[in-house]
Amino acid sequence: MATDTRELSVEPGEPTTITGGPTPIAGGPSQDAGRPSPDAASGGARPHGGPVVRASRLVRRFGGRTVLDRLELSIAAGEFVALLGRSGSGKSTLLRAVAGLDHEVAGSGELRVPERVSLAFQDSRLLPWLRLLDNVVLGLKRPGAAARGRKALDEVGLAGRERAWPHELSGGEQQRAALARSLVREPELLLADEPFGALDALTRIRMHDLLRELYARHRPAVLLVTHDVDEAVELADRVLVLEDGRVARDVAVDLPAPRTPRDPRFQEYRELLLAALGVSPRPALPSVRTAEETTDDPAQ
């Protein structure tokens, strides 16, 4: 696999073998992480092959503040990783570093990312002056681009809207178009910074299903930033919690296919993660979503 090494400054040292966090937690549901999952579509399949993303001793500073502090991260090919953390903990900073968008940010460390990386933003970021299809295939050079774009729009349920202007679409449709734009490039790594943050709860559930389906079909490695603990547990193979500029928790989620908050083990994961985020979980009420309100930094 082609890897593009963005070497910021390589400090000599022992080769790092990282699996994410410094301390795999004992006693949590991750004990049985090694067991193969029964369902690949749920994202439960264990990663295969070497890591596609590898960050070692990654440091990013804004002024005097060290936001990422010798962070270690590795993501295997086809692995779905969710990234949690309090507001301001540096999730977006990490994502932008991996995406190569942090020009002029002070930092050091070693970062290896694959060649084809897609990034889904919190806003759909469609260019208002391009029709939907042109937005989806933006930057694609190959002659079959239009056909592939059409197929991608079809996959996200927007067939027939190729010639629509972005402002003619609903928020959810715009976000689906953005997803099509990310996937039409067949990325080895899909980065997403709270892509569903601006959507209503119902649309968000639909988007989860869609994302799961697309993930099962295309199998990119995924790094999904989210505020929503349920979203993380529902979608990811592995949930990372960012704290003090490092991956403080690395929780492998091993739940069978239709993951539902009703599952008591789902609750276990949720409580564990909420505790890691420094919030006391509410009494288990599976149908009530507690994530957004409670994971937000109260100081914000």
Partner 1 sequence: MSQAIARRRLGPGRSYPYGRIAGPLLLLAVWSAAAYGGLLDPRVLSSPGKVLSTAADLIAQGRLQTNLLISLRRALLGLLFGVGAGTGLAVAAGLSRLGESLIDGTMQVKRAIPALALLPLLILWLGIGEEMKVVVIALGVAVSVYVNTYAALTGIDSRYVELAEVVGLSRAAFLRKVVVPGALPGFFIGLRLGVTASWLALIVVEQINATSGIGYMMFQAQQYAQSDVIVVGLLVYGIFGFASDALVRAVERRVLSWRRTLAN
Ligand X SMILES: Nc1ncnc2c1ncn2[C@@H]1O[C@H](COP(=O)(O)OP(=O)(O)OP(=O)(O)O)[C@@H](O)[C@H]1O
**33 half-sphere exposure, CB direction, 13 A CA radius:** 19
Complex with Mg ion: residue 66 or 122, whichever CB lies closer? 122
Q: Which residues bind Mg ion (CB under 5 A)?
A: 92
Q: What is the largest CA-CA distance in the chain?
A: 55
What's the gap between Cα 171 and its chain centre?
Answer: 20
Report the C-alpha gap between 300 and 297 in whole angstroms.
Answer: 5
Residue 241 interacts, among Mg ion, partner 1, ligand X, none and using kind-specific CB cut-offs from 5 to 8 Å, with none
Query: Does 152 participate in binding partner 1 (rule CB under 8 A)?
Result: no
**Complex with partner 1: residue 128 or 283, whichever CB lies closer:** 128
Residue 93 binding: pick among Mg ion, ligand X, partner 1, none (C-beta 5-8 Å cut-off by kind): ligand X
Cα end-to-end distance, the chain, whole Å: 42
Interaction between residue 101 and partner 1 (CB under 8 A): yes
- The residue (of 96 and 218) whose beta carbon lies closer to ligand X is 96
Closest CB to ligand X among residues 161, 227 = 227
Question: Residue 127 or 147: which CB sits closer to partner 1?
Answer: 127
Residue 158, CA distances (Å) to 133, 194, 220 in order: 10, 21, 22
By CB under 8 A, name the one of 34, 64, 128, 298 that touches partner 1: 128
62 binds partner 1 (CB under 8 A): no
- Residues in contact with ligand X by CB under 6 A are 62, 67, 85, 87-93
Residue 143 token pair? 């002659």
Smallest gap from residue 208 Cβ to ligand X (A)? 19
User: In the bound complex, what is the minimum distance in angstroms from residue 159's beta carbon to ligand X?
Assistant: 33
